[in-house]
Structure 1
């Protein structure tokens, strides 16, 4: 099966489907659950002139996603990166990550950051393998245990 990764409006049906699956999975994975309503409030930053949102789809079905938002210091932050469980281990997460890095460069950012939870061990390993280094916390995300950064230049 072929997967295409496209920039979409964060309010599009494919984006809403992917984000919904991502949020439900976090709520099931995190020991203390995840506040889905609170997370939905910051998604507008993933669109417009200062953000991007990409959806990976196969045969018209969303199988992955990820977003970018601009940070005040000029870096871009990767948010809402998710791959459907049936597509894990097939390289799609790496493709999504590289696409988000490419979009960040196109937007004029030379540094990307992200945060993640300790329960997401495969994601942490992927970020490290992709050249991300752990940094001091740059936000107050109550679900984050690790903060990473990568220079794109």
Structure 2
């Protein structure tokens, strides 16, 4: 069995791996949106914007994780602040060939722990409707469906194709 290691991103060393994983994730998601709903989002713009403002995913208010298998980056997950009491999970992705091994759950658990330690009262996220396996993971960690929240990057005209979730932090 391959050993998976999850660690915080080290910048600037990991920027290329982060950009590649974010682009892989958003292109994969775009293919799903196009196949099911007939639209695509400007993923290259999203990745460029996120890389240009990557500090929002860094401590103390956020976190950026990478998962490595045999030295290759195969997963990523980020946390950013939506204000003093709410954090948001962003760009959670595990390469398809590496799924079902617990990597996503381990990264999500770490982000929830970071949010708790930082004093956030809740964690939110958004995810396309077709990502049902991700929704099951989120629900297993206490996330519940909520109405769309204003800080989400999803354009209003597409929000009906998304699930919005929140998990309180006790």
User: Structure 2: any 5+ residue segments left out of the alignment?
Assistant: none
* 1:82 maps to which of 73, 89, 93: 93
Give the structure 2 partner of residue 33 of structure 1: 40
Matches within 5 A, 1:3-82: 3-9=4-10, 12-31=15-34, 32-40=39-47, 41-43=49-51, 44=53, 45-47=56-58, 49-82=60-93
Alpha carbons of 1:59 and 1:28: their partners in 2 closer, same or farther (altered >3 Å)?
same
Distance 1:10 1:117 in 2: 29
Give the alignment's TM-score, normalised by structure 1: 0.89
- Give the structure 2 partner of residue 134 of structure 1: 145
Q: How far apart, CA to CA, are the structure 2 residues paired with 1:105 and 1:10?
A: 24
- Unpaired segments ≥5 residues, structure 1: none
Please give the per-residue CA displacement for 1:100-125, whole angstroms capped at 9, x wherever unaligned. Answer: 11122232223111011101111112
CA distance in 2, matches of 1:92, 1:23: 18
1:82–1:93 CA contact under 8 A, matched in 2? yes
Match of residue 116 from structure 1:
127
Aligned residue pairs total 153
Higher helix share: 2
